[in-house]
Structure 1
Amino acid sequence: MADQDPADQIKELSSTLASVEAVVDLDAKRTEIAQLREQSADPELWNDQNNAQRVTRRLSHLESVVNKVEHIRQRLDDLSVLYELAAREEDSDTRAEADAELRSLREDIGQLEVQTLLNGPYDEREALVTINAQAGGIDAADWTQMLQRMYLRWAERHGYPTVVYDTSYAEEAGIKSTTFAVKAQFAYGTLRGEHGTHRLVRISPFDNQNRRQTSFAGVDVVPVVEHSDHIDVEENELRIDVFRSSGPGGQSVNTTDSAVRITHLPTGIVVSCQNEKSQIQNRATAMSVLQARLLERKRREEQAEIDELRGESASSWGTQMRNYVLHPYQTVKDVRTNVETGNTTAVLDGEIDAFIDAEIRWLRGVEGAGD
């Protein structure tokens, strides 16, 4: 790529961007933006808070998409001029600036191309992520905490707000389970490919004989529910328990029984929340998490019915999906997309975009095959 003429590289990027522009359909989005701006200017809009939030959120998203595409197109046009200037003036500094902008544009257009694939019914929602320790004992609990940190660091790198709703600490080290929200538009569509079993192989720091240990943690990603979602939850289907919030090692971090655990009896789904100060707030948050789980359960059941009608076998993408090997060599490899890196430290510090982008493309290929 580095040996390719910049003019040819710009031409290729322009062609890719044109494909993105066609998928995005800028003219249709500009028309919708004009309509939404007209609605948002109506003083009676806020009589219906839910609808007003939907309108303003949709308007903000569309404006962001159009502005981003237009800005990248302008940068691409300016880049050709910058290369011409560097050649005419024989200016090595200007040439270096142009080369850096070319690399930046290649990355930005690649990300934009992936984002156009996030067109599922819930993809633009915020995400609820739950991680549970599986086989591996204390190492699995430690691994669960490592995964929680990895995702929170990933969100931090992107400037996405997160809220940890619940953490169940293990007795010796690590955590048994955790649930947190990633409060960014398209967080669900971006992260849903992370759903599945994550496998860690390493020398156990908890084994005095320094033996190699394999441990597992399950990651579940569901979309946050909105007021327009219709999920029936009867009060008599719930068992609600209150308890005292606890920290690492089982220590009490709250002197009142403010934490809430809700069990949905028909499905056996259990959710809990202990991050809020009051029992009422924790109950409301836990109900939101329960509704999100039920919504995702409904979506998966409907998808399974469609797959059965098509004569397809059940999707296997929800099983083991990534291996993290820290001994005897170091590598992280996705078993579905074959994306692999030897920089395990960076991955565990939240640098997982290459895996996520490949997952988005892979999922669209799997799901699109039956369309």
Structure 2
Amino acid sequence: MSIDFAVEIESLRGTLENIIAVTRPDELKARIAELSEKAAVPDLWDNPEAAQAVTSELSHTQAELGRIEKMVERIDDLETIVEMAEEDLDEKDLLLEEAEADLAGIRQALADLEIKTLLSGEYDERSAVVTIRAGAGGVDAADFAEMLLRMYLRWAERNGYPTKVMDTSYAEEAGLKSATFEVNAPYAYGTLSVEAGTHRLVRISPFDNQGRRQTSFAAVEVIPLIETTDHIEIPESELKIDVFRSSGPGGQSVNTTDSAVRMTHIPTGIVVSMQNEKSQIQNRAAALRVLQSRLLQLRHEEEQAAKKALAGDVKASWGDQMRSYVLQPYQMVKDLRTSHENGNTGAVFDGEIDDFINAGIRWRKDQAQEEN
């Protein structure tokens, strides 16, 4: 069956127009000009954190605009190839084969661009704070938590997103009890929030001398990074602050002073630990920022729960397990919400999870529409 390229190209342009209506390229250009001025200020790097935020947003915004402009060019080029095929009968088959390949690539690229239009939640455009905790499964669960940390850091690296590991709590034998890191990029929270939930690993345990199959679990929490405009005030009377010495794998001291900070919010029981900064003051500031982010997320969840209760239709959005990583007796990573799967488990653990994230974002949008 031959492809009706005229119909396909019209469909592509229609999809692109919808994306342009949401992304507003003119506003992106204005924002790029504004950020470029800020980036050119001579004393920009006197405040490294603020400079990083400016340069990161500038890079992301330029890339977003570039993707849209490139898509316009690709569709125009596809139309040109089809026109050439109609005029050059000798090369027609070869040109149409090239056009068919380009069409498939453009469809996929547009589908990826469309994902960004689905990120319209209140905090979706924020940077993200991700915490991974080992669950049931002993040393295998701790090892799994470390595998997930590497997976997400590799994913961020592949996408050019700056990350910062803020806290790591090592398990005694291997792996991690928990780890917290930031992903400092626009829409990192909206993108990664679909990764929140319980992850399950099935494999032959490398820690079992009898070579038995082991199932282990890890929990992933994703919250939006606090901003100064959020005004989450925490009275000192609601905080319990403990200081201790930072430690690395196996209890090896990495700091000879009590620079690590454990901050407990007494009313909610939320505990935040920070040890990866060089001073107690820096760790305290980082811990407070993450605590504020968690309280902001808690407030948002309470508001959403109240709205659902008023609507009389309370649904559990997440099951006990949202994704399974099976390495034995077969190899398969499968998302239990979207049914998306990938048999290349090595690639997934190396950070190739965009397809899972995109499927999760679409699933979440569908769930929201069903509830409304």
**TMscore range, shorter length:** 0.7 to 0.9
Match of 2:26 in 1: 30
Cα separation, partners in 2 of 1:353 and 1:3, compared to 1, 3 Å: farther
Alignment deviations for residues 87-109 of structure 1 (CA, whole Å, 9 cap, x no partner): 54545876665455434322221
- Which amino acid in structure 2 is aligned with residue 72 of structure 1? M
**SS of corresponding position for 1:107:** helix
Match of 1:344 in 2: 345
Cα separation, partners in 2 of 1:8 and 1:222, compared to 1, 3 Å: same
Moved more, 239-248 or 113-122: 239-248
Match of 1:80 in 2: 79
Match of 2:147 in 1: 146
1:125 touches 1:189 (CA, 8 Å); kept in 2? yes
- Match runs of 1:152-301 below 5 Å: 152-301=153-302
1:128 touches 1:224 (CA, 8 Å); kept in 2? yes
Identity among equivalent positions (%) equals: 58
TM-score when normalising by structure 2: 0.87
**SS of corresponding position for 1:214:** strand
Match of 1:69 in 2: 68
1:244 touches 1:255 (CA, 8 Å); kept in 2? yes
Tell me the CA shift for residue 30 of structure 1: 2.9
- Which amino acid in structure 2 is aligned with residue 30 of structure 1? D
Task: Find the aligned partners of 1:133 and 1:77 in 2 and give their Cα distance.
Answer: 50
Tell me the CA shift for residue 36 of structure 1: 9.7
**SS of corresponding position for 1:312:** coil
1:193 touches 1:360 (CA, 8 Å); kept in 2? yes
- Match runs of 1:127-138 below 5 Å: 127-138=128-139
Tell me the CA shift for residue 342 of structure 1: 1.2
1:188 touches 1:221 (CA, 8 Å); kept in 2? yes
Cα separation, partners in 2 of 1:147 and 1:367, compared to 1, 3 Å: same
Moved more, 297-306 or 4-13: 4-13
Cα separation, partners in 2 of 1:166 and 1:58, compared to 1, 3 Å: closer
Moved more, 298-307 or 12-21: 12-21
Task: Find the aligned partners of 1:32 and 1:64 in 2 and give their Cα distance.
Answer: 10
Tell me the CA shift for residue 32 of structure 1: 8.6
- Which amino acid in structure 2 is aligned with residue 315 of structure 1? A
1:135 touches 1:217 (CA, 8 Å); kept in 2? yes
Cα separation, partners in 2 of 1:150 and 1:53, compared to 1, 3 Å: closer
Cα separation, partners in 2 of 1:23 and 1:78, compared to 1, 3 Å: same
Cα separation, partners in 2 of 1:137 and 1:54, compared to 1, 3 Å: closer
Task: Find the aligned partners of 1:203 and 1:21 in 2 and give their Cα distance.
Answer: 48
Task: Find the aligned partners of 2:100 and 2:230 in 1 and give their Cα distance.
Answer: 48
| Matched length | 362
Tell me the CA shift for residue 183 of structure 1: 0.8
- Which amino acid in structure 1 is aligned with residue 13 of structure 2? S
Moved more, 192-201 or 261-270: 261-270
Task: Find the aligned partners of 2:338 and 2:31 in 1 and give their Cα distance.
Answer: 41
Match of 1:367 in 2: 368
Match of 2:107 in 1: 106
Cα separation, partners in 2 of 1:349 and 1:40, compared to 1, 3 Å: closer
- Which amino acid in structure 1 is aligned with residue 16 of structure 2? L
Alignment deviations for residues 282-330 of structure 1 (CA, whole Å, 9 cap, x no partner): 1111111111111111111110000000011143326320011111111
Task: Find the aligned partners of 1:16 and 1:212 in 2 and give their Cα distance.
Answer: 47
Task: Find the aligned partners of 2:177 and 2:115 in 1 and give their Cα distance.
Answer: 33
Q: RMSD across aligned C-alpha pairs, in angstroms? A: 3.1
Task: Find the aligned partners of 1:152 and 1:37 in 2 and give their Cα distance.
Answer: 30
TM-score when normalising by structure 1: 0.87
1:37 touches 1:59 (CA, 8 Å); kept in 2? no
Task: Find the aligned partners of 2:336 and 2:234 in 1 and give their Cα distance.
Answer: 37
Match of 2:336 in 1: 335
Moved more, 8-17 or 96-105: 96-105
2:326 touches 2:332 (CA, 8 Å); kept in 1? yes
**SS of corresponding position for 2:276:** coil
Match of 2:9 in 1: 10
**SS of corresponding position for 2:193:** helix
Task: Find the aligned partners of 1:35 and 1:345 in 2 and give their Cα distance.
Answer: 39
Tell me the CA shift for residue 242 of structure 1: 1.3
- Which amino acid in structure 1 is aligned with residue 171 of structure 2? A
Alignment deviations for residues 137-182 of structure 1 (CA, whole Å, 9 cap, x no partner): 1110001001001101111111111100000000000000000001
Moved more, 360-369 or 118-127: 360-369
Tell me the CA shift for residue 41 of structure 1: 8.1
Tell me the CA shift for residue 20 of structure 1: 2.2
**SS of corresponding position for 1:189:** helix
**SS of corresponding position for 1:316:** coil
